[in-house]
Each structure stands twice: as structure tokens, then as C-alpha cells.
Amino acid sequence: MLNGEFGGPSGKDAYDRSRAEALDEFADGLKHLLGANEYSTQRLTHLGLNLPHECDMPPRLAQALSGGTQLTTLMAYVRLDRAGVAEPLSRLRSLKDLLVSFCEQPLLAPLLSPLTALTSLRLGSTSCELPAAALTGLHSLANLSATYSTLSVSTLAQLSSLTGLCAQALILSDDDRQALQTAPHRCDWRLPAKLEDVYLEEQAADVLGAMRGSPAHVAKWEMHLTAGQAFLDLQGVLSEDDFLVTLTERGEAGLASCMEFLAGRMSRDSEIYLDLHCYPILPVGGLAEAGPGWRNHTPWLSPLARAGVPELILEHLALSEEDFGAVASNAQLRKLQVYETCRYPWRALLQLAEAPALEKLGVDIDKWCGEEQVGPFAPPPDAASVLATLLAGTPPRLSVELRYYEQALSEETEAEVWAWYEAAQEAVEEAGADLDRLSLHGG
């Protein structure tokens, strides 16, 4: 790893001059190291380049690097955002593993398209839609990490060797959406056949549904599923910071399509974090149609259960007993977390006693601690009995973890929480359940 350290006189102008001179000297030294001369190191195949504060790469340094045509690995902790730096680096045709801290979108295609030997590409904080011209010629690319960038489904389909993907999201490009509207029968976007590991930071659910025709094969999926504004309907204002938001018919269909896509694709270590919006989402029809035997989220939660999601996190959802029943029908569900931003009747958790494989249930109880957690502590009257029933089930496999945000609580309220918990433990013990399977944690 080569580190460029820039010191020198104080004052911005003097510092900038000193920095530029140091970079020039650094570039000259690197050129001698890599070039065809008595000081060169022709056997050097791995190079790490670390400039202070991941600063911009000067063209002179890029030119110096271009002499390293024998390099197979380059880890460049620098920013590529100037004209004149992509073309010199694109001469490193032997590269198999490339990392850059940041690259402006217009530079990606001229930088990457000639590097056809690449098997691993890491793009740091690059934030853009990754252009097809930059990637589709990389037929050996096995691992792509671009956590802050999006990738179109049509581009993904052309990365035939890809085994690992880390991205902000898969998207439908403008061309993809146009194709869906004009010739949907031709939109046969398929996942790479070798794909084994997928991480998506903020994935719109409807996009995955567009690929449900792809042949199913098992991979590890970790993703945060969201819903776009077109999926939601603002029906009213409940308070200054609380709104009545419902799922639209289109949103319900999009979520169901997404869950159908997931069926048969998830390994045992997959995890879905479901957070559709910043307010608890009611089912289609809203308050007017919600309730026992009425509209609920089961039209898409049931396909989610059939998909066999092994680990599920729920946030910002208004859930009914029927909804929890749908979740419980998932024969593969081992871990479930229900965040405090969900709204549901506490006894709805009893439905989870029917979940055949559920081993761990995490539940936030911050809502019991009053508005903004300032008290008074007011758990549901049946809180302890519901826990006792859940934990007394046979076979004894389920563990329940109750959580609260301790930094927001007063000492008095936190003391009430723990006093209630001791009483709940007694109820659980009286039901014949193992107390080791119930826990309370502040975080």
C-alpha cells in the first residue's frame, strides 16, 4: 500500500502548492516504480494507493499508473472525477480486481469497458445509475459492489458470470419502462444463472416482480424492501407528525408480484427488511375497510409466506390478526422482528404460535412507554398472558426478546418497565415455560 502524505507550509495557497508538488513527486516515483527502467518492479501485480482524505486523482498520477500494465489488482482510495484520468487507467488491461473510492458517472464507461479481464469491481461511494456501456462487456465479472449506485434489470441480465452483487437497488431504466409499456412480452429479464449472493440497500418491490419470469435458483438475498409513492395513498392527517397512509390496489399487486418472484430463490440465511414508508401503512381501503374479516395485507403477506422468507423484519405497517396468521403460515420462517413503528393488537402475536419453524421473535415495546417515551408505562392488559401462551407452546423452541430504547426513558419509567417484566416472568413460569426463552433489553 502506497500512502501519499502531504505536509508543508500553513495557509491555504501555500498548502495547495505544497500538496500539488507532493503529488507530482509521488507520481514521478510511481512512474519509476512501474515503468520500464532500472528502478521498475515488473513483478509487481498488486498495488494499493491511498491518498489523504481520498482526494481527487490528478491526471499526472493517472498517467504514472498507466505504466503498470502487469497489475492484476489495484485498490485506489482516490476520487476519479476529472477529465483525463479514465483513459490512462483503462490501459491496465490485466486488472482482475479493481477498487476505486468514487467515480463520476461519465467516466465509468471509458474507464471500465476496456478492462475486460475484471472479475471483481468495487466502486466505493459512487452514486449513480451504472451505465450499461460500462459493464456489459465485462464477461468475466463475478463480483460487483456499488452500495450507493443503482443497476437496471436489463444490464444485470447481461452480467452472465456474476455471483455476488451489492447495490443500492435494481431499477427499471427509462428504456426498460418503455419496453414494458410497448412490448411487455419481450421483457424477459433474467437473473445471472450463477448469482449466489445479493444485497440491496433500498429496493422498490415492483421492480423485482418484473423479473419473476426468470428461472428460479437459490441465492442469499439481503434487502430492504420499500414502496414507491405510486403504491401509497395519503388519506388524511391524524396529527402534526402522523398521517393516514394506505396501500393502493397497484401497490398491493406490486408487492404480491415481488413476493412471487422471491419464491424458490432464498437460501436459509436470506433476510428481508420490509419498510414501505415512514408511517404505518394501512391495507387497501384504509380505515373504512380494515378490520376482522375485512381488507388486510394478506393478499401480499400470504405470497411472502409461500416464498419461504427465513428472516423477516417488519416496520411501518398496520397489521391485523389475519396478517400475523399469514406470516405464521411461512413454514421456513425462523426469525421475526416487529419494530415499534408497526401498529397491531397485541394479542395478534398469538397467531405466531402456529409458525412451525419460528425460533426467535423480537418485539419493540417503546409504545408502552407513553408519548415520546416519557411515561406513564402502560402495557396492554393481556401482555403477560400472551407471552406466557406463546412460550408455553410445544415443542418448546420459540424465544421472545422484548426491546426498548433506554436512553429516551426516565429512571422512573425504566423502573416500571422492569417491574412489569418481573411480573411477566412469573406468569410465564406459571404457564410451565422456560424463563430462559424470555428476555428484555434496553438499547
Beta-ladder partners of 46: 73
Is residue 342 located within the same domain as residue 206? yes
**Cβ pair 249, 200 in contact under 8 A:** no
Is residue 366 located within the same domain as residue 340? no
Q: Determine the structural domain holding residue 230 and report its residue range.
A: 196-348
Is residue 324 located within the same domain as residue 427? no
Can you read off the three cell numbers belonging to residue 341?
A: 413503528
Is residue 236 located within the same domain as residue 306? yes
Is residue 398 located within the same domain as residue 337? no
Can you read off the three cell numbers belonging to residue 205?
A: 418491490
C-alpha–C-alpha distance, residues 47 and 98, integer Å: 10
Is residue 413 located within the same domain as residue 379? yes
Q: In the listed set 322, 348, 374, which residue is the last one of a domain according to the structure?
A: 348
Q: What is the DSSP code string of 275-311?
A: E--SSPEEPTTGGGTBSTTSB-SHHHHHHHHHHT-SE
Per-residue pLDDT of the chain (443 residues; tens, 9 = 90+): 555 544 444 444 544 555 666 666 777 777 767 765 555 556 788 999 887 766 788 888 888 888 888 899 999 999 998 888 999 999 999 999 999 999 999 999 999 999 999 999 999 999 999 999 999 999 999 999 999 999 999 999 999 999 999 999 999 998 888 888 887 766 778 999 999 999 999 999 889 988 888 888 999 999 999 876 667 776 554 444 456 788 888 889 889 999 999 999 999 999 999 987 777 888 887 765 555 556 799 999 999 999 999 999 999 999 999 999 999 999 999 999 999 889 999 999 999 999 999 999 999 998 898 776 667 889 999 999 999 999 998 677 899 999 988 777 888 888 999 999 999 999 999 999 889 999 999 87
- Phi, psi torsion values for 317, nearest 5 degrees: -130, 140
Pairing state of beta strands 242-247 and 281-282?
parallel
Can you read off the three cell numbers belonging to residue 15?
A: 498548502
Is residue 226 located within the same domain as residue 297? yes
Residue 323, in any domain of the structure? yes
Residue 147, in any domain of the structure? no
The pLDDT assigned to 8 comes to: 46
Residue 261, in any domain of the structure? yes
Is residue 223 located within the same domain as residue 322? yes
Burial category of 13 from C-beta neighbours within 10 Å (exposed 0-12, middle 13-18, buried 19 and up): exposed
> Model's pTM, two decimal places?
0.87
Closest C-alpha to 312, from 350, 257, 275, 351: 275
The pLDDT assigned to 378 comes to: 92
Is residue 252 located within the same domain as residue 386? no
Residue 109, in any domain of the structure? no
Residue 67, in any domain of the structure? no
Query: How many domains is the chain partitioned into structurally?
Result: 2
Is residue 241 located within the same domain as residue 326? yes
Is residue 313 located within the same domain as residue 365? no
- CA distances (Å), origin 266, targets 146, 165, 190, 197, 283: 22, 15, 16, 10, 26
C-alpha–C-alpha distance, residues 346 and 342, integer Å: 11
The pLDDT assigned to 247 comes to: 87
Q: In the listed set 292, 313, 348, which residue is the last one of a domain according to the structure?
A: 348
Beta carbons within 8 Å of 373's beta carbon, 6+ residues apart: 366, 404, 405, 408, 409, 413
Is residue 271 located within the same domain as residue 392? no
Can you read off the three cell numbers belonging to residue 16?
A: 495547495
Q: In the listed set 313, 348, 383, which residue is the last one of a domain according to the structure?
A: 348
> What does the H/E/C string look like for 161-194?
CCCEEEEEEEECCHHHHHHHHHCHHHCCCCCCCC
